[in-house]
Chain A
Amino acid sequence: MERGKLELVVGLFVLVGVICLGYLAIKLGKLELVGGDYYELQADFSSTSGLKNGASVEIAGVEVGRVKKIGLKEDRAQVVLAIQDGITVYNDAIASIKTRGIIGEKFMELSPGGAGERLKNGETIVDTESGIDLEQVISQFIHGSVK
């Protein structure tokens, strides 16, 4: 095969391969090449059991961002949320961890509040609700300590 055609074919192969790689990394792997479209908020929880990095953050069921980092701050869990620019969250917002279905994945529901000031990049959501521990609820029910 002559040189030009060979190079064309290999170029095509590399192009298709790189497109596949990019699709996997960016679309499915959620690799962020540009970080400009998001701002970060923090929220402290007594427990984030089951919540994972990359879990979605929703307002009224609409995805507005993702959980970026989960760490420990003193004895509470600190979650960093990446929220899309243009979504306004006020300082009386409530962040709660919820479960999709009974055995589904955990996600974060925000009720953005309305009164008060707008939260800026790096500020903290004060009102939080940890997820319901289904096992604990059931055991309370069985052992009869439900009030």
Chain B
Amino acid sequence: MILIQRFGKRALFLIEEMGAMFVFLMRTFGWLFRPPVRIFQIIKQMHFVGFKSTFVVILTALFTGMVLALQGYYSLRKFGSEGLLGSAVALSMIRELGPVLASLMVTARAGSAMTAEIGIMRITEQIDALETMAINSLQYLITPKVVASLLSVPLLVALFDVVGIWGGYLVGVKLLGVSGGSYWSSIESAVEWKDVYGGILKSISFGLIISWVCCYKGYYTRMSAEGLGKATTESVVLASVLILVWDYFLTSVLL
């Protein structure tokens, strides 16, 4: 009996949380289009989410591309079609790995910091202080983060794709001796606008997921140091899981 009761309690809690998250998103959207637009806040957030993530994104992209080329080379060599290495690297980069891996890196680097920042503001009652000064906290704190993520993540993903393809070139052509011409021409003949478009669409939606989940978890953190730690962990886990799940559904629709 108690077991079933617990189960029901948990289910109700989850449904409540989902509803609260959705309401939070809708309210943020509502505040997105109301003046004043705080451009400098957006720029500050883009610096944090976008520019400061470039190094880690370039590093992961380089090694992802390199290992893809290495794995692809030894698989393709069995069929004597090393010339297709470029298309294998570029397609997996642009369609899947670029959007997903770059978004996961942004979640780990910037998403956790977002939750912590907003959570500390909640605990130290700075958010309440903003409200008493008649500044809407959603508009002042959350919308710049959402806009910055929506703009930064696609750019980071594009950077990831290009660096990854060059990483594949380094290993495939310079190290393993695939001809450079066939590497690039196989990329150009295999990649279509549809692939690039799908990748951009994915990365925009991932940008929304990251900022939405991480801001929500920070905004409604429990009022203790322990609660904040929990909120940060939960936001990273939930955002990462949502990215991977949403990626599957979006891929099945796009293909």
Contact = CB atoms under 8 A, between A and B. Distances in A.
A29 interface: yes
Interface of A: 1, 3, 6-7, 9-10, 12-14, 16-18, 20-21, 23-25, 27-31, 53-56, 103, 105
A54 B155 contact: no
Given A18-B155, A105-B189, A13 B197 contact: no
18 contacts: A1-B47, A6-B43, A9-B51, A13-B47, A13-B51, A14-B46, A14-B151, A16-B159, A17-B155, A17-B159, A24-B94, A24-B196, A28-B187, A29-B197, A30-B188, A30-B192, A54-B189, A54-B192
Contacts of B196: 24-25, 28-29, 31
Interface in B130-155: 151-152, 154-155
Given A20-B161, A21-B200, A29-B197, A13 B46 contact: yes
Contacts of B40: 3
Interface of B: 40, 43-44, 46-47, 50-51, 54, 81, 90, 94, 151-152, 154-156, 158-159, 161-162, 187-189, 191-193, 195-197, 199-200
Nearest to A28: B191
Contacts, number: 83
B158 A17 contact: yes
Contacts of A53: 192
Contact of A21 (B46, B50, B154): B154
Contacts of A28: 90, 94, 187-188, 191, 196
Binding site secondary structure of chain A: helix
Nearest to A53: B192
Contacts of A12: 51
Given A18-B155, A31-B193, A56-B189, A24 B50 contact: no
A10 B200 CA distance: 20
A95 B89 CA distance: 32
Contact of B162 (A3, A20, A55): A20
Nearest to B51: A13
Contacts of B50: 10, 13-14, 17
Contacts of A55: 189
Given A24-B196, A29-B197, A54-B192, A6 B47 contact: yes
A61 B206 CA distance: 43
Nearest to B46: A10
A13 B187 contact: no
Contacts of B94: 24, 28
